[in-house]
């Protein structure tokens, strides 16, 4: 039996209250509204009357149109707010449920949903990865169709519109993003990408997390421990195997990077974590993540400098500038559409890419099991002996509340297993640990 929509239940509540106040029985009310007693019972249980029937109810029970309107708004947003709050505050509970949903189709050793062929056998230099990536650009985005079940769940709203109404402080600027369409991994990584908008990601990917939160809210106190993976319980999410079909959603790519800073002494090699502290964060609020990390998107509006900006290596460097150097003017330089590679803080790192004391690698890819967002897992290795000391004094940005935690490199495996590290970050750490000999080879 389909669930009653919040607005239907709100109308039913008004009818029951007014009927009780009037002291009228089902038989007399049915005669007055000119419907059957069975229809009365259905309307009082949550089936929505027709407009004519509702008008008769209002006349017979002295219900004003404003009373109906107010009740509908309370019922609608009351339920949606509760689901939204659950989604924001219960990621710890939702992640294992989502991961179990994909257990039969995913690699068993990672908290993200991935396959063996999506993981690099050995780290691939990002410059090499970018060369292949740029061969497969698709300039026209396929039309996006939101699942009807998702629109019903959101009572006709898009998820981005719901957030704007009930939590307007959350950052959801509708910027241009690079969307994944197809992955081919026969003898190399071939990713077909196309243009998209961040709002499309919110409405088709992040909204799937909202659907999961709705299921959790209705079932976590029952014997049901996880939804059925055939899509019956989560129709918008679809069967588990559909997570690998990127054409059914705006699968805008995230890039997570483990930063390794290597000093002269082996006891002073570090990687870095940052808290997902800001309440303005939409994606994976709470917990800890590797830095630098962020959305794969161009620096210019509408991808005006595509040949330059469609680069994972450049994106990692931009996130490094935004998240770790703590210079507001660097962020402003990017938004003013100037080339941030020319900034004095960034220029030494760019030179390092050419000389080899800054190296970047592709480690693999996978999907966060909750919003099904695809992510690229990369590593950035800096030989601190050749970098001005001031650049390595990391300050953080608004996302982390200005906090960045240096962690000794021998703790990589430990933190890859820490449930407080979000799935993309944990996977990044695990892959870095697996390939540590290669990542550190030039330094040894």
User: What does the pLDDT look like over 203-237, one tens digit per residue?
Assistant: 999 999 999 999 999 898 887 889 999 999 999 99
Given this model, what pLDDT does residue 337 score?
A: 63
Confidence of residue 397 (pLDDT cuts 50, 70, 90): confident
CA distance 272 to 260: 7
Given this model, what pLDDT does residue 444 score?
A: 52
Other C-beta atoms closer than 10 Å to the C-beta of 34 total 10
- Mean pLDDT within 4-22: 84
CA distance 274 to 260: 14
Given this model, what pLDDT does residue 251 score?
A: 97
Question: Rounded to two decimals, what is the model's pTM?
Answer: 0.85
Given this model, what pLDDT does residue 391 score?
A: 87
Residues in Cβ contact with 248 at an 8 Å cutoff, skipping those fewer than 6 apart: 238, 242
Q: Of 338 and 54, which is predicted with more confidence?
A: 54
Given this model, what pLDDT does residue 1 score?
A: 42
| Domain locations in the chain as residue ranges | 6-63, 82-443
Residue in the structure block whose two tokens are 């019972």: 41
User: Tens digits of per-residue pLDDT, 71-103?
Assistant: 776 766 788 889 999 999 999 999 999 999 999
CATH T-level fold of 6-63: 434 Repressor (Amino-terminal Domain) (1.10.260)
Confidence of residue 333 (pLDDT cuts 50, 70, 90): low
State in words which class domain 82-443 has: alpha beta
Assess contact for 3 and 56: CB atoms under 8 A: no
Let me know the angle formed at the C-alpha of 106 by 103 and 108, rounded to the nearest 5 degrees.
Answer: 75
Let me know the angle formed at the C-alpha of 111 by 105 and 116, rounded to the nearest 5 degrees.
Answer: 50
- Mean pLDDT within 385-401: 85
Percent of the chain with pLDDT over 90: 70
Q: Is 243 exposed, middle or buried (0-12, 13-18, 19+ CB in 10 A)?
A: buried
Q: Of 162 and 327, which is predicted with more confidence?
A: 162
Distances 15 to 4, 25, 229 between C-alpha atoms, Å: 15, 12, 38
Alpha helices in 134-226 (DSSP H): 148-153, 159-166, 198-201, 207-219
Q: Of 218 and 118, which is predicted with more confidence?
A: 118
Instruction: Extract the tokens encoding 257.
Output: 């990077």
Residue 69 reports pLDDT greater than 90: no
Mean pLDDT of the chain: 91
Let me know the angle formed at the C-alpha of 190 by 346 and 424, rounded to the nearest 5 degrees.
Answer: 60
Confidence of residue 11 (pLDDT cuts 50, 70, 90): confident
User: Tens digits of per-residue pLDDT, 367-390?
Assistant: 999 999 999 999 999 999 999 888
């Amino acid at each position: 039996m389909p669930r009653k929509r919040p607005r239907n239940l709100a109308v039913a509540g008004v009818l029951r209250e007014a009927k009780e106040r009037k002291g009228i029985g089902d038989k007399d009310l049915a005669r007055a509204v000119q419907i059957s007693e069975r229809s009365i019972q259905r309307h009082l249980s949550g089936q929505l009357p027709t407009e004519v029937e509702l008008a008769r109810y209002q006349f017979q029970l002295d219900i004003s149109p404003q009373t109906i309107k107010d009740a509908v708004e309370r019922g609608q947003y009351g339920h949606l707010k509760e689901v939204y709050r659950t989604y924001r505050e219960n990621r710890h509970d939702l992640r294992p449920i989502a991961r179990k949903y994909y257990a039969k189709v995913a690699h068993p050793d990672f908290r993200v949903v991935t396959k063996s062929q999506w993981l690099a056998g050995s780290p691939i230099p990002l410059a090499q990865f970018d060369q292949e990536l740029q061969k497969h650009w698709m300039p026209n985005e396929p039309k996006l169709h939101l699942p009807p079940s998702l629109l019903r769940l959101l009572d006709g709203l898009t998820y981005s519109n719901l957030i704007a109404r009930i939590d307007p402080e959350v950052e959801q600027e509708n910027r241009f993003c690079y969307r994944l369409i197809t992955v081919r991994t026969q003898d190399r990584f071939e990713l077909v990408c196309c243009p998209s908008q961040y709002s499309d990601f919110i409405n088709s990917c992040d909204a799937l997390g909202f659907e999961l939160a709705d299921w959790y809210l209705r079932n976590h106190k029952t014997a049901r421990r996880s939804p059925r993976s055939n899509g019956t319980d989560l129709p918008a999410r679809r069967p588990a195997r559909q997570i690998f079909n990127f054409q059914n959603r705006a699968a805008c790519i995230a890039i997570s990077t483990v930063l390794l800073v290597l000093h002269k002494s082996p006891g002073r090699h570090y990687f870095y974590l940052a808290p997902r502290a800001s309440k303005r964060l939409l994606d994976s609020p709470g917990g800890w993540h590797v830095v630098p990390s962020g959305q794969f998107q161009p620096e210019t509006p509408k991808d005006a400098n595509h040949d330059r900006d469609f680069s994972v290596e450049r994106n990692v460097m931009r996130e490094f500038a935004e998240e770790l150097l703590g210079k507001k003017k660097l962020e402003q330089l990017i938004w003013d559409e100037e080339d941030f590679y020319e900034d004095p803080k960034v220029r030494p790192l760019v030179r390092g890419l050419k000389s080899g004391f800054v190296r970047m690698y592709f480690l693999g890819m996978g999907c966060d099991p909750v919003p099904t967002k695809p992510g690229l897992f990369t590593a950035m290795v800096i030989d601190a002996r050749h970098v001005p000391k001031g650049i390595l004094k990391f300050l953080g940005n608004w996302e982390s509340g200005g906090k960045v935690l240096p962690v000794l490199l021998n703790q990589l495996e430990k933190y890859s297993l820490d449930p407080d590290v979000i799935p993309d970050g944990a996977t990044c750490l695990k892959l870095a640990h697996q390939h540590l000999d290669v990542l550190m080879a030039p330094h040894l």
